[in-house]
Structure 1
Amino acid sequence: MLEKFIALANSEKNNENSFFESKNDFPEEINFLFKNYSNATFIDGYFSLVNSIEYQEVLKEVYTPFKEPSNCFAKDAFGNLYVWENESIKLINIRYKVSEIIGRKPSVFFNLKMTDNGFLEKRLKINMFYEAKKKLGELKQNECYGYEPLLTLGGSEKVEFLKKVKIKEHISIIAQLTGKIE
């Protein structure tokens, strides 16, 4: 089902008691990842699943959904959130303050887009991630790389302006300073 993407996991499958609670508003493929790989990171630590219930408040603070329900299922190393909304995967891009549909079928999103180097570099800035990881070290589950000053406040998109920050607090600060993403 998601073989190509699962091959990018940086840890083993969960034991039966380790997966976190999620809403059942997700398609089969995302529920499969929650059940089997919720503790894993993917793509060398760039992408990881999140507890959708724990991320509901931060999502509401930073994003106005097009259609409810809108449930966060993952984050990336730059604090961007991935949500399932209106039968689509949406990227809530924290850095650029935009939301966009990046997939309709989860199997295509995970097995084709998230394994495609062109997509990862052009759309998700994976090379910047590798530079930041080399300079700042690996991230903990509650961290992301954030620009200081924020890009939306005139910051420069260079590795020297990245710092490790607490992801939920970082997103909250962005929402308070610049408003919600629509």
Structure 2
Amino acid sequence: MRDPHFEYFIEKFGEATYSMPVSEATLAQWTGKLPPILMTYWREEGWAGYANGRVWTVNPDEYEDIKDAWLEGTPLVNIDNFHVIARSAFGNLYLCGEKMGRSVTTSCLNNEILALKNKLKPKPLHDQDSSIQSFFGSRKPEDFDYPDANGKLLFERAIKKYGPLEPDEMYGFEPALVVGGSATLDNLRRLKLDPHHHILRQFDSPTLPFSNIDFDKFMK
């Protein structure tokens, strides 16, 4: 029987439109580092894409270089070991810390790293399950969409014009928003996720919302 939070997620997003099984060796590798409920999801669901690729659960190992590039030079690297556990069609990466659970998001299109102060708190591993359950259970499909310059969501139009994403692809803008591009359907492209993240990271340092957070307390 599925965890009720994930069952509610499936009610809203539908069954996976892509799935790859996760080996027992990989589950063993991450057990004790990431919340137990996430291991349950991986074992039962695999790494999967939902709602025709709006959101994907992913192998953290395949995203370590991207995650390291985006967190480099930020206080986050000193307070926890973060790993990517999911991503959106538009390149948002959803990070889970070994100490803090699901707590940080990178938005490459907006050149931002997002976190809530009340989420950046160490907690025992089993107590982190709620951060994973909340991430899936509270989301709606439009949460993983992206608005154009007029506020109209792009995902359905992007699929119709450019086709569905492969597991290693995302929708991104050319020219990029960070260098003055416009968020329009005509500027949207299907792009390889890994190189596009690295290209965007080179344009500028991401903005951070935690200027008022005392990160020194996490080092004690």
TM-score (norm 1): 0.83
SS of the equivalent of 2:66 reads helix
Higher helix share: 2
**Which piece of structure 1 moves more, 142-151 or 55-64?**
55-64
2:178 pairs with 1:152:
yes
SS of the equivalent of 1:60 reads helix
Output the CA distance in 1 between the equivalents of 2:175 and 2:68. 23
Residue correspondence of structure 1 range 75-114 to structure 2 within 5 A: 75-85=87-97, 86-101=100-115, 105-112=131-138, 114=139
- Post-superposition offset of 1:153: 0.6
Pair 179,32 (structure 1): closer, same or farther in 2 beyond 3 Å: same
Output the CA distance in 2 between the equivalents of 1:89 and 1:156. 29
Output the CA distance in 1 between the equivalents of 2:194 and 2:75. 18
Output the CA distance in 2 between the equivalents of 1:82 and 1:158. 24
SS of the equivalent of 1:53 reads helix
Q: Counterpart of 2:167? A: 141
Contact 2:17 2:51 in 1 (8 A): no
Contact 2:170 2:191 in 1 (8 A): yes
Contact 2:110 2:177 in 1 (8 A): yes
Output the CA distance in 1 between the equivalents of 2:141 and 2:195. 31
**Which piece of structure 1 moves more, 53-62 or 25-34?**
25-34
Pair 177,82 (structure 1): closer, same or farther in 2 beyond 3 Å: same
| Matched letter for residue 10 of structure 1 | A
Q: 2:62 aligns with which of 35, 51, 54?
A: 54
Contact 1:61 1:180 in 2 (8 A): no
Pair 39,72 (structure 1): closer, same or farther in 2 beyond 3 Å: closer
**Which piece of structure 1 moves more, 30-39 or 128-137?**
30-39
SS of the equivalent of 2:44 reads helix
Unaligned runs of 5+ in 1: none
- Post-superposition offset of 1:141: 0.5
- Post-superposition offset of 1:175: 1.1
Unaligned runs of 5+ in 2: 120-129, 209-220
- Post-superposition offset of 1:43: 2.5
Q: Counterpart of 2:8? A: 4
For the pair shown, which has the larger CA radius of gyration, 1 or 2? 2
- Post-superposition offset of 1:65: 5.7
User: Cα RMSD over matched residues?
Assistant: 2.5
Q: Counterpart of 2:205? A: 179
